């Protein structure tokens, strides 16, 4: 049985201001995301520690297409829409909810955002930066393969939706 002092230590913030409770929550979140589920627990703890949380209000953009970035996101709470912004309108492509991972392309160098992501409701995300992900990628190449397969599948799905929306606008004679 733990003493009150031990319980207090569990929730004391570390140098980055995070409590053990927050670390455990981040770890639980990452373990439920299929891309990260195969990583050994001790290694995943490091990435849970190195991840951060971001908050967005309903209607706020998480990021805009063509922006550069270096973060991948896991939705903790709320919903977000993926949209392709065109000159005179936007096309809805997807919706993210709790447990969904997005923004993976930015975890690789020299890339930009192909779509915009906008919070539909108040949104809380766990973020993983490029440097952390690349360390993970080098130590666990199978995670990189999962990530690439995941990204390709999602890009194809969004491209199909975009092409369908564009073809609906075209008139054939």
**pLDDT score for 11:** 38
Q: Which residues contact 12 (CB under 8 A, 6 or more apart)?
A: 19, 20
Domains in the chain: ranges and CATH:
52-166 (2.60.120.10)
What is the mean pLDDT for each group of 10 consecutive residues in the chain (173 residues)? 34 52 88 81 84 96 94 95 90 92 86 93 95 82 76 79 69 48
pLDDT at 16: 55
Provide the pLDDT for residue 3: 34
Judge contact between 75 and 123, C-beta under 8 A: yes
Cβ burial 18-44 (10 Å sphere, 16+ → b, else e): beeebbebbbebbeebebbeebeeeeb
Give residue 139's pLDDT. 80
What per-residue confidence (pLDDT) applies to 9? Answer: 31
The alpha carbon of residue 143 and the mean position of all alpha carbons in its chain are separated, in whole angstroms, by 15
Element (DSSP H or E) covering residue 5? helix 4-11
The pLDDT, as a whole number, for residue 2 is: 38
| Residue found under tokens 């929550």 | 25
Question: Which residues are paired to 116 by β-bridges?
Answer: 83
- Output the pLDDT for position 110: 81
Count Cβ atoms within 10 A of the Cβ of residue 4 and give its class: 0-12 exposed, 13-18 middle, 19 or more buried.
exposed
Q: Residue 95: what pLDDT? A: 95
Instruction: Report pTM.
Output: 0.76
φ, ψ for residue 17 (rounded to 5)? 85, 15
- Quote the pLDDT of residue 170: 59
Q: How far apart are the first and last CA of the chain?
A: 78
Tokens found for residue 131:
């440097």
Report how far residue 98's alpha carbon sits from residue 125's, in angstroms, rounded to the nearest whole number.
Answer: 9
């Amino acid at each position: 049985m733990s003493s009150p002092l031990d319980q207090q230590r569990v929730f004391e913030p570390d140098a980055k201001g995070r409590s053990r409770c927050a670390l455990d929550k981040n770890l639980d979140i990452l373990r439920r995301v299929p891309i990260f589920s195969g990583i050994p627990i001790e290694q995943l703890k490091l990435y849970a520690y190195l991840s951060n949380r971001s908050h967005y209000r309903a209607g706020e953009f998480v990021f805009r297409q063509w922006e550069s970035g270096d973060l991948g996101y896991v939705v903790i709470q709320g919903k977000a829409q993926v949209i392709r912004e065109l000159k005179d309108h936007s096309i809805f492509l997807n919706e993210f909810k709790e447990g969904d991972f997005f923004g993976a392309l930015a975890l690789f160098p020299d890339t930009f955002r192909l779509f915009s992501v906008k919070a539909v409701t108040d949104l809380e995300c766990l973020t993983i930066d490029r440097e952390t992900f690349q360390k993970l990628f080098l130590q666990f190449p199978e995670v990189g393969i999962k990530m690439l397969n995941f990204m390709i599948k999602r890009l194809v799905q969004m491209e199909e939706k975009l092409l369908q929306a564009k073809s609906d606008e075209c008139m054939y004679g």
